[in-house]
Amino acid sequence: MARSSGIRGSRIGSGPMGETERGEAAARVAVSFWCEAGHVTRPSFAATAVVPLVWECPGCGLPAGRDRDNPPVHTPAAPYKTHLAYVRERRSEAEAEILLAEALARLRATG
C-alpha cells in the first residue's frame, strides 16, 4: 500500500500566495528602451530607483536608449590581442634581434 504525505507536491517555504502574506509590492515604473535594430525593451524599475540611460537589448545585444528616434550607436569592441601582438607593437624586428642576442649571451656566459 502506498504511503501518502500531507506535503506531497509542495516545496519547503511555500505557503499562501497573496499581498497579505507577502507584504505590499514596491511601486514600479516601466521604461521603454530602443536599440539600433528597432527592438523595444520595457524593463520595470522601482519608482525610487535611478533609471539608466542605456540598457542592453535582450534580442540582439546592442545598446538601447530611451530616445526612440535616436538610439545609441554600437561601437564594436577591439579584437582580442595576444601577448605577442602587444610586444610587436612596442618593438621592431631589429630591437627584437638585439634583445635576443643579449639574452643568448647571458645564457651562454652562465652555462
In angstroms and rounded to an integer, the radius of gyration of the C-alpha atoms of the chain is 30
What's this model's pTM, rounded to 2 decimal places? 0.53
54 and 93 part of one domain: no
68 and 87 part of one domain: no
82 and 44 part of one domain: no
- pLDDT for 3 equals 61
**Phi and psi torsions of 34, nearest 5°:** -120, 140
What distance in Å separates the CA atoms of residue 12 and residue 59, rounded to the nearest whole number? 35
- pLDDT for 8 equals 60
Residue 19, domain member (yes or no): no
- pLDDT for 95 equals 92
The number of folded domains in the chain is: 2
At 85, list the grid cell. 601582438
What distance in Å separates the CA atoms of residue 9 and residue 12, rounded to the nearest whole number? 10
What distance in Å separates the CA atoms of residue 91 and residue 99, rounded to the nearest whole number? 10
Q: Tens of pLDDT along the chain (111 residues)?
A: 556 655 566 666 666 665 566 677 789 999 999 999 999 999 999 999 999 999 999 999 999 999 999 999 988 888 899 998 898 899 899 998 999 999 999 999 987
**Alpha carbon distance, N-terminus to C-terminus of the chain:** 83
107 and 71 part of one domain: no
